[in-house]
Amino acid sequence: MSDFIRQMALQLGFSFCGISRARRLDEEEPRLTKWLKEGRNAGMGYMGNHFDKRLDPRLLVDDAKSVISVLMNYYPGNRTGFASPYKVSRYAFGTDYHFVIRDKLYQLAQRIEEKAGAINYRVFTDSAPVLDRAWAVNAGLGWIGRNTMMITRRHGSYFFIGEIITDLELEYDMPFGGNYCGDCTRCMDACPTGAITGNRELDAGKCISYLTIELKDNIPGEFEGQTDGWIFGCDVCQEVCPWNRFSLIHQIPDFEPSGNWIEWSRETWEQLEKPVFEEMFGKSALKRAGFRKLKNNITFAGHSKRKL
């Protein structure tokens, strides 16, 4: 059954699939507690909610026995010809990954039920109190790097993560052993705002992804000249990671750019109006920031660049 699940996951377009036993992640509790206590979650108060559920999937799915973890590649390479002076994280180039991954996970669950009979399950992709990266490690898929990203030895870190938590008992993969960042500090050295403060330590309040997406207010003036033209998310710590030299270009049509915005000039971005935003980014992850926030990010980035 476990082999069948892995095969079906690959057929559906997932890059990797691993399975781990549902349990409480006791080893993650001290790190999560410390991160929250120090306020490193910044304005993301929800990260402190459902603390026990975040550590124990058995509180999310009754009688849960297995966590099926999947990775899906979204690396676009250089084929998109991104030419805009304002930068958007690669993960947001196409259709919002929540929709794509969730649909694929439901398809996978349906295949499982066709073979195993009715099961109790829920699907997740960055949408509930689940420690996605920790479960990917437990499923043997990779390790959590110095920049807090989940890294695979075969193809780097440009992956979305999803899970099916189920009451189906399966054969489990060995957790990934070791950490292959070594003494490399390229991600720390390259981070424009110094958000990576140590090994697997991220100060979200300084992270450009947080500042341009999660932060509801305008970006504080102290970061002027530091956001490096990013208006939604940031890929710097992945761009400099040596493991991403092994990244392969994705084969998922849904992740292709949703329009010609990748070639927009600075003036086109700055003149963006809400109807065009809705038309161009209606199915994109950029909707998470919203029109007003994106406009504020563009203004901030433009002002910073002109001052530089």
Q: Which two tokens stand for residue 159?
A: 């992956």
Non-local CB neighbours of 271 within 8 Å, separated by 6+ positions: none
299 closest CA partner among 203, 209, 291: 291
Output the pTM of the full model: 0.94
Q: What pLDDT is stored for residue 45 in this prediction? A: 77
pLDDT (0 to 100) of residue 188: 98
Calculate the average pLDDT of the chain.
94
* Residues in Cβ contact with 51 at an 8 Å cutoff, skipping those fewer than 6 apart: 32
Instruction: Supply the residues annotated as catalytic.
Output: 126
DSSP state of 94: S
Structure tokens at 212: 């341009």
The pLDDT, as a whole number, for residue 271 is 96
Half-sphere exposure of 299 (CA within 13 A, CB side): 10
Task: Please state the domain extents for the chain.
Answer: 2-80+89-166, 186-307
pLDDT given at position 274:
97
pLDDT of residue 128: 87
What pLDDT score was predicted for residue 308? Answer: 43
Instruction: Tell me how many degrees the CA angle 196-192-94 measures, rounded to the nearest 5.
Output: 90
Regions of the chain short of the pLDDT cut 50: 308
pLDDT given for residue 41 in this prediction: 84
